[in-house]
Homo-oligomer: A and B are copies of this chain.
């Protein structure tokens, strides 16, 4: 059976969008993941701040790596994100997952995103379906 790090390396190799958004893995453990990325000017929206899709994408990748790290392939079902503070171009974001529940059919994680001043900018909660397919 593959280790959490091996699984995430396999996933990352194909993950063009996470690369495009400059995401980097800080840490991966069983059921846990920590990612970072820098907000570029190409990632801003009509208000001159980071598009909501930026923190969402970072959180969604963190969810994918954390949940798949346990060995079985997991597919995102329901996710929600609450935007808590402005994210500006130049900000460096850090996403950390927390495991809420691991069941046979579903698993639930939350992801906290902070900026370089350790201010919390978004909170994400995601439910994944746990499949029977191993990495």
Interface positions of A (Cβ within 8 A of B): 10-18, 20-21, 41-48, 50-54, 56-57, 60-61, 64, 68, 73, 75-85, 100-101, 103, 105-106, 108, 110, 112, 120, 123, 125, 127, 129
- Copies held by the complex: 4
Assembled-state Cα–Cα distance A106/B85 (Å): 11
Q: Known contacts being A80-B78, A101-B82, A125-B80, is A20 close to B42, with CB within 8 Å? A: yes
Interface SS of A by simple majority: mixed
Q: Are A82 and B127 in contact (CB under 8 A)?
A: yes
- The residues of B that contact A61 with a CB separation of less than 8 Å are 45, 51, 53
With CB as the reference atom, state the residue of chain B lying closest to A131.
B105
